[in-house]
Amino acid sequence: MSGIRATHELHARRFSRNLGVAVALAVFVAIVFALTVVKMKRGDPLQGFDHVVRPGMEDSGS
Amino acid sequence: MPDLAISAAQEHEPTFGDYVALLKPRVMSLVVFTALVGLLVAPASLHAIEAVAAMLFIALGAGAAGALNMWYDADIDSIMRRTMKRPVPSGRVAPDEALAIGIGLSGLAVVMLGLATNVLAASLLAVTISFYVVIYTMWLKRRTPQNIVIGGAAGAFPPMIGWAAATGSVSMEACLMFALIFMWTPPHFWALALFMRSDYENAGVPMLTVTHGRPAARRHILAYTLLLVPVSLWLALGPVGGPVSLAAAVVLNLMFVRGAVQICMRPEAVAQGDGYAAEKAFFRASLFYLFLHFGAFLADAVVRQAS
């Protein structure tokens, strides 16, 4: 049971593209995570206004 | 049969590098640098993570606008020597794919910039993308010789976005940084149009060199270069500037005006004779002009922080 092997130049190209997309997605996830940590540590409001006015959030100055 | 299937699939099998090229990385580098300077010289600071995220999403937005430009302009890009090797005109990326990537990344960049920083910065990024794609690419580029004058606004927004990301507002300094790039864009592109000769004409793009002639373009380069001087000095003498910016503004403007005068005085036959050496040198100098100018603002900001 060997792994998937590239049998054509096309497969190598697809692999490099998939790898690039995977790295880009991993970077995106890392940035969203890091941003979340920064904003939570600072105590930013994590929930914005929806269709209902919330007096408590107005006081927070957001 | 499998080989035939592979051959057919290869026609639209872009590499990751093709996708990167679709986002015009060279244009992106200028956008990122000017936006970064706008963010760092602003009188407010972001957390490092927020600043990195802001830069990334501004760059992504600029890249998305580039992809949409490439999708729409594929027909004329395939005619011009300078652009015919781009991913869409060369057939490496399918037009529909470029459109989907452009729209998807635009939305992602705007929403994420809004979440990372503030709504004003995100709105300015959305305006920038729309301006570049709709106003410049779809409307002005093929209709008027003022295309790059008005369209230049799209390239002028990044420092203002960086400033807005840091401060949540737009001030006179941000507007002056916008004005600096806005006034710089026409001489930069008209110098390119002078030495790219028939490229724009063949593609039917009404550049000033085509509609009003090359001598008129030379005069316009000088006029806009002269208009650039007060903007540059105003910035250097204002809160964003300092001794480094002032020295850079004086030296760079002297060099730039000298180059513009030289271009203005040159007869076309002489320029053709030396392979447009002065025009090419002016074009290269224009890139240094902008990088060094914004680099000087950054240096002054560092000096201010240190003192």
Q: pLDDT (tens digit, 9 = 90+) per residue, B64-107?
A: 999 999 999 999 998 888 888 899 999 899 999 999 999 999 99
Q: What angle do CA B283, B284, B290 make, to 5 degrees?
A: 90
The minimum CA-CA distance between B116 and chain A, rounded to whole Å, is: 7
Give, in order, the Cα–Cα distances in Å from B23 to each of A15, A26, B123, B174: 21, 19, 21, 26
Q: Closest approach of chain A CAs to the CA of B253, in angstroms?
A: 40
Interface of B with A (CB under 8 A): 6, 9-10, 13-16, 19-20, 47, 49-50, 52-53, 56, 112, 115-116
Rounded Cα distance between B69 and B142, Å, is 13
Q: Under a CB-based contact definition with an 8 Å cutoff, are residues B255 and B187 in contact?
A: no
Q: Which of A9-23, B204-218, B242-256 has the highest mean pLDDT?
A: B242-256
Q: Which residues of A touch B20 (CB under 8 A)?
A: 20
pLDDT grade for A62, boundaries at 50, 70 and 90: very low
Residue pair B88/B71 in contact (Cβ under 8 Å)? The answer is yes
Q: What is the DSSP letter of B63?
A: H
Using a CB-CB distance cutoff of 8 angstroms, which residues of chain A are in contact with residue B19?
17, 20
Instruction: Write out pLDDT tens, residues B247-274.
Output: 999 999 999 999 999 999 988 888 888 8
- Could you give the C-alpha distances from B174 to A53, B78, B97, B170, B283, in angstroms and in order? 34, 37, 35, 6, 25
State the pLDDT at residue B2: 47
Give the closest-approach CA distance of B36 to chain A in angstroms.
18
Task: Please give, rounded to a whole number of angstroms, the shortest distance from the CA of A5 to a CA of chain B.
Answer: 16
Task: State residue B83's pLDDT score.
Answer: 87
Does A10 reach chain B within 8 Å, measured CB to CB?
A: yes
Chain B interface includes A22 (CB < 8 A) = no
